[in-house]
Amino acid sequence: MIFSTLILNTFREAAAKKIFLGFFAISTIIILVFLFLINVDSVDGMVDMMESSGEEGVKNLVIGFEVAMINISYLLVITFCFISVSSFIPSMLEKGNIDLLLSKPVSRSKILIAKFTGGVLLIFISLTYLIGFVWLILSIKSGFWHIPFLYTIFWLTLSFAIIYSLIIFIGLISQSTILSILISLFLVFIVCPVLYVREATIFTFVSNTAVQFIINFFYYILPKTTDINQITTDIITGKKVESYMPVISSVLFMLVTLSASIFYFRKKDY
């Protein structure tokens, strides 16, 4: 009961911040645009053309839409959700609020895990709304019910959860919303993409093995959201996923970061 109260409070806080309403508004616009698109003649023509080239043509068209959708959702999740959830921990730690929370018969670990779970559930629901509706529209229009596209909800939620664990950790230590946003965006938009293409780009310029070792070291210890995004695309397009190492190591990163956050929160004086 206490745990669900804390989770529901996270939802209330998110709703109060309006930014999630923005997320829902944009998701609704995207869904409406999809609804509009499937009724325009040019798309009808495109579908007819693909149908004439066989079932494979329709599948390719649908998958093409879905891949575009993953990238849109990924950007939406990062832009809206990170900015919104980054303030969850610093606002919880505000003097006068944290005192009251910690005076209740709730363990500190439970408070933190509820904050994490609440944030992740929120993103899961938001993504289910966006991806679910787009999938439904595409499926009804094309007659091609492509279930793997729904897995995107899970993969994008996982990407969010991994970075959210870091946001919580930074929020706890710095008690700063801005710093949490900056570090998480820097990681997702700069560090992860750069490390993802390190072999194809950086290593062509850097031949020093020590430097390469350091770059590889960071690649392996840091979360790999770009890799996970690529794995999601591969699953949808039916390509063979070469390795799930990025997922496993990112999940490990999440578990370690969460454990460190809990350890720090349990020891900290407020």
On the 0-12 / 13-18 / 19+ scale of CB atoms within 10 A, 112 is: buried
Q: What SS3 state is found at 105?
A: coil
54 binds other proteins (CB under 8 A): no
Contact between 92 and 180 (Cβ < 8 Å): no
Number of Cβ within 10 Å of residue 139's Cβ equals: 15
Instruction: Give one DSSP letter per residue of 127-165, joined into a string.
Output: HHHHHHHHHHHHHHHHS---GGGGHHHHHHHHHHHHHHH
Q: How far apart are the first and last CA of the chain?
A: 25
Q: Is 85 an interacting residue with respect to other proteins (CB under 8 A)?
A: no
Q: Is residue 1 a contact point for other proteins (CB under 8 A)?
A: yes
Work out which of 96, 200, 204, 240 binds other proteins, going by CB under 8 A: 96
| By the rule CB under 8 A, 106 interacts with other proteins | yes
CA nearest to 3, candidates 82, 121, 93: 121
Interface with other proteins includes 2 (CB under 8 A)? yes
Q: Does residue 39 interact with other proteins by CB under 8 A? A: no
Nearest residue (CB) to other proteins, 171 versus 223: 171
- Binding other proteins (rule: CB under 8 A), the pick from 200, 204, 210, 267 is 267
CA–CA separation, 197 and 219 (whole Å): 10
For the CB of residue 91, give the shortest distance to other proteins in the complex, in Å: 8
How many residues at the interface with other proteins, by CB under 8 A? 26
Structure tokens at 215: 């770059």
173 vs 74: CA distance, rounded Å:
27
Interface residue with other proteins among 41, 104, 204, 205 (CB under 8 A) is: 104
> Binding other proteins by CB under 8 A: which of 30, 37, 38, 102?
102
Inter-residue contact 161 to 81 (CB < 8 Å)? no
* 7 vs 192 by CB, closer to other proteins: 7
The interface region with other proteins, picked from 23-31, 97-105, 220-228, 248-256 by CB under 8 A, is 97-105
Residue type, 54: G
Output 1 or 210, the one with its CB closest to other proteins.
1
> What does the per-residue mask of binding to other proteins show for 5-34, with x meaning CB under 8 A?
xx--x--xx-xx------------------
CB of 18 to other proteins, least distance (A): 10
Q: Which residue has the tokens 């993103």?
A: 123
Binding mask 152-191 for other proteins (x = CB under 8 A): ----------------------------------------
DSSP for residue 13 = H
Does position 72 interact with other proteins (CB under 8 A)? The reply is: no
CA distance 9 to 86: 15
Q: Does 46 bind other proteins (CB under 8 A)?
A: no
User: How many Cα atoms occupy the beta-carbon half-sphere of 153 within 13 Å?
Assistant: 18
Note whether 270 binds other proteins by CB under 8 A. Answer: yes
Interface positions with other proteins (CB under 8 A): 1-2, 5-6, 9, 12-13, 15-16, 94-107, 267, 269-270
